[in-house]
Amino acid sequence: MGTILDGKAIAARLHDALTREVAALRGCPRLAILWFETPSSALYRKAQCRQAASLGIAITDASFPTDVEPDAVEARILEWNRDPKIHGMFVHQPMPAQINPQRISALIDPAKDIEGIHPQNSARRFFAKARIGSCTALAVMELIEATGMPLEGKDAVVVGHSEIVGRPVSMLLLDKLATTTICHIATTHLEQHVHRADVLVVAVGKPQLIKGAWIKPGAIVIDVGINVVGGRVVGDVEFEAARQRAAFISPVPGGVGPVTVMMVMKNTVEAYKLQQQGGAAA
């Protein structure tokens, strides 16, 4: 029976450190959240607002229906770019089909880009002197590091190749000298890839796509999926069956999600400090 990675406990430790950091600031960081009216996005936005309030970080948010015209979304981002009181921007994904994610990423002011998705920032590991990158990817690494298991030489498999999770997670795993494979919609024999993974990260958005029987005994399993099924929030991994084989596994909810929210706040504070110092992406 695998150990459950308690994202709430990890987030609480991060919260304590960030509380002290925010208290020492002269001003108040402000995060702008742009989200689309879906159950999973509403859930995530609620968690972001709750944590921001507890830390003393101000929130400006805008919600749009899923049939919104792209011009309306773009206009709001440009408005926030011009607003000196806004220090960080977070756009919820996935976006509706009519919205071009690459165009949205390119519109965000690089100095306010707390996920490192602007083309100017996306290939960089460091944003000025502060670590700013995909909040979800950084959260995944926090959970992996909490296991205490070294990654050097391990086989890591990432299922999902999105710009905000799969790709940045794969680069962070490579940084730790894990041998990393990315699986995606065109991957054949997914079960075989999963079965050899010492570290498995799943970020697809398909409920219980990964079967418990596929998990390599003793693996670390990080489930990034957030799916609402029958009024319940479930992940991309068949949790109970996977737990029988894994050494460590993150639950949904209560795993990656709380830590990701804290990374959003941490990156907002870092962006605020850089802007106060006149810093910019190098």
232 in the same domain as 153: yes
From 48, 57, 1, select the one nearest 28 (Cα to Cα).
57
Give pLDDT, residue 124: 56
171 in the same domain as 97: no
Structure tokens at 232: 């319940």
246 in the same domain as 157: yes
143 in the same domain as 76: no
Give pLDDT, residue 43: 84
139 in the same domain as 83: no
From 23, 26, 29, select the one nearest 84 (Cα to Cα).
29
Whether 196 is covered by a domain: the verdict is yes
Q: How confident is the model at residue 163 (pLDDT cuts 50, 70, 90)?
A: confident
State pLDDT tens for residues 20-33.
999 999 999 999 99
Share of the chain above pLDDT 70, in %: 95
State pLDDT tens for residues 114-159.
988 887 776 554 444 445 788 999 999 999 999 999 999 999 999 9
State pLDDT tens for residues 205-235.
999 999 999 999 999 999 999 888 888 989 9
Q: Indicate the SS3 state at residue 10.
A: helix
State pLDDT tens for residues 42-63.
988 998 999 999 999 999 999 9
Give pLDDT, residue 117: 82
Using the predicted structure, report yes or no on whether residue 176 has a pLDDT greater than 60.
yes
In which domain, by residue range, is 265 found? Answer: 14-124+258-276
Give pLDDT, residue 226: 86
Q: Rounded distance, CA 187 to CA 231, Å?
A: 31
167 in the same domain as 111: no
Using the predicted structure, report yes or no on whether residue 281 has a pLDDT greater than 70.
no
Whether 52 is covered by a domain: the verdict is yes
From 114, 117, 111, 169, select the one nearest 138 (Cα to Cα).
169
252 in the same domain as 262: no
Domain with residue 107: its CATH number is 3.40.50.10860
Give pLDDT, residue 120: 76
163 in the same domain as 233: yes
Whether 234 is covered by a domain: the verdict is yes
Angle made by CA atoms 50, 54, 56, in degrees to the nearest 5? 115
State pLDDT tens for residues 229-258.
888 989 999 999 999 999 999 999 999 999
For residue 206, how far is the Cα from the chain centroid? 17
190 in the same domain as 90: no
Whether 282 is covered by a domain: the verdict is no
Q: What total of structural domains would you count in the chain?
A: 2
Q: How confident is the model at residue 93 (pLDDT cuts 50, 70, 90)?
A: confident
Whether 247 is covered by a domain: the verdict is yes
252 in the same domain as 175: yes
112 in the same domain as 152: no
For residue 233, how far is the Cα from the chain centroid? 17
Share of the chain above pLDDT 90, in %: 82
Mean pLDDT value across residues 102-107: 94
144 in the same domain as 83: no
Give pLDDT, residue 44: 86
Give pLDDT, residue 254: 95
**Average predicted confidence (pLDDT) for the chain:** 92
